[in-house]
Amino acid sequence: MTSIRTGRLRTVLLGVAAALLAFTPVYWTNAVAESPGTAPDRTDGQSAVRQNPLRKAWKLDKGISDIPVSFTVRNINRTKAACPVDGRTYTVRGHLTAPTRLLEGKGTDKAVTLYQHGIASGEWYWRLQADGYHHAEELAARGHASLTIDRIGYDSSGTPDGFATCVGGQADITHQIVQQLRKGTYRSGDAKGGANDSAKGGGRAATSFGKVFLAGQSNGGQIAQIAAYSFRDIDGLVLMDWADRGLTPQTNARFFSSLQSCLRGGTEGYVHYDLGPAEFRSGNFHDTDPDVLDLAVPHQNRHPCGDMVSQISSVLVDLRELRTITVPVLLMYGEKDTRVQGGEEHRALFTGAENTRLVNIPKAGHYMGMARQAPLIHETLADWLDAR
């Protein structure tokens, strides 16, 4: 029965993909139409990393807890961005990183930020083991709790057929995780998803949070905003390197090249957005320390075809629904991003938000968290969260 359902999902999504190609200028389906850019210059100054970023055992600063957590979720789609999913149950895994005193303290006003990664990355984007680039650690050092995850289809989390998930389904799963964070019903303290109740299997009691903020980088930003306007259960929204109408010619070229790979089936419905490390580097990084670049590039991930194919139809829904988001919105963009531009235009769509703020990160590319200006991101976000 499952194979029949998956086959139908493949048929639907491949039909959509074929239609997209049919109504798209031919040049998008070829290689990148303009110059792919220049890979970061490895001779540009000395490394800013204080020591070898690749450690056998990464240890966070004293006073910071880093707890493996897991969430049991269903791959369903109740969002306003309709797209097909398989309805099955999966485990989403990640880490809760926070000041130890915050997790051990009493009270119902604890706050956490749930981070969604981009299409070609994973939880690793927020946890790069290089001094000053481990985003979750940096925010914890500034007093804030972070939940970083691999979405289904990525690394440590459950792996559906790549045609059996979509951005609407990922947004619904985001909502499920938000609710589990509020209620403290997720599993905490066991890398394999140990029991929440310590009496049932050695886990530690899960912390419940009175406030939940949602942040997303690249297409993780689209997933975050779909969850925000579909369920209205978050306290603030942070978008990094995402704008519905700001995708550049380079992005479109890579998108439709990747779409062709999906039409051929990919690897169980998974394909690479960038064709090889050189494209991955040139398209995502700018003003990046050479050691950080060497550490990050090998983590390039394949992505589910269903997520990618559903992005375009979901953009049309976004343009209609973003005005209904009422919580505060922070938007951040890399100044040298070759993939997403138009931050001011995207900001203007949030007409119903309590307030909006836009910050451009100097010299940073699409993966602005990997740029030398990463501390500015950490400070900006921490200050914004403090004000909430």
| pLDDT tens-place values along the chain, 388 residues long | 444 455 555 555 555 444 444 434 333 333 323 333 333 332 233 333 333 333 345 677 789 999 999 999 999 999 999 999 999 999 999 999 999 999 998 877 899 999 999 999 999 999 999 999 999 999 999 999 999 999 999 999 999 999 999 999 999 999 999 999 999 999 998 544 433 333 233 467 899 999 999 999 999 999 999 999 999 999 999 999 999 999 899 988 899 899 999 999 999 999 999 999 999 999 999 999 999 999 999 999 999 999 999 999 999 999 999 999 999 999 999 999 999 999 999 999 999 999 999 999 999 999 999 999 999 999 999 999 999 9
Q: What is the 3-state secondary structure (H, E, C) of 19-62?
A: HHHHCCCHHHHCCCCCCCCCCCCCCCCCCCCCCCCCCCCCCCCC
Q: Which two tokens stand for residue 194?
A: 């140990």
Are 254 and 274 a contacting pair, CB within 8 Å?
yes
How far apart CA 270 and CA 232 sit, in angstroms, is 31
Q: What was the pLDDT predicted at 7? A: 59
Model pTM? 0.86
Determine the Cα–Cα distance for residues 307 and 134; give it in Å rounded to an integer: 26
Phi, psi (5° rounding) for residue 252?
-65, -40
So what's the pLDDT on residue 29? 31
Q: Is 80 helix (H, G, I), strand (E, B) or coil?
A: coil
Outline where DSSP puts E strands in 231-376: 236-240, 270-271, 303-304, 329-334, 356-361
pLDDT at 62: 83
DSSP per position, 223-266: HHHHHHHHH---SEEEEES--TT-B-HHHHHHHHHHHHHHHTTT
Q: Contact 294/39 with Cβ under 8 angstroms?
A: no
> What would the two tokens of residue 353 be?
């938000």
pLDDT tens for each residue of 27-73:
333 332 333 333 333 223 333 333 333 334 567 778 999 999 999 99
| Measured CA distances, 56 to 49, 80, 129 (Å) | 16, 44, 10
The pLDDT of residue 45 = 33
The pLDDT score that the predictor gives to residue 190 is 59
- d(Cα 324, Cα 378) in Å, to the nearest integer? 28
Paired with 271 in beta bridges are: 303
* Other CB atoms within 10 A of residue 211 CB: 18
CB 148 within 8 A of CB 94: yes
Instruction: Give the pLDDT score at 61.
Output: 79
Asked whether the beta carbons of 221 and 242 are under 8 A apart, the reply is yes
Domain annotation for the chain: domains and CATH numbers? 2-24+58-386 (3.40.50.1820)
What is the rounded distance in angstroms from the CA atom of residue 151 to the CA atom of residue 157? Answer: 6
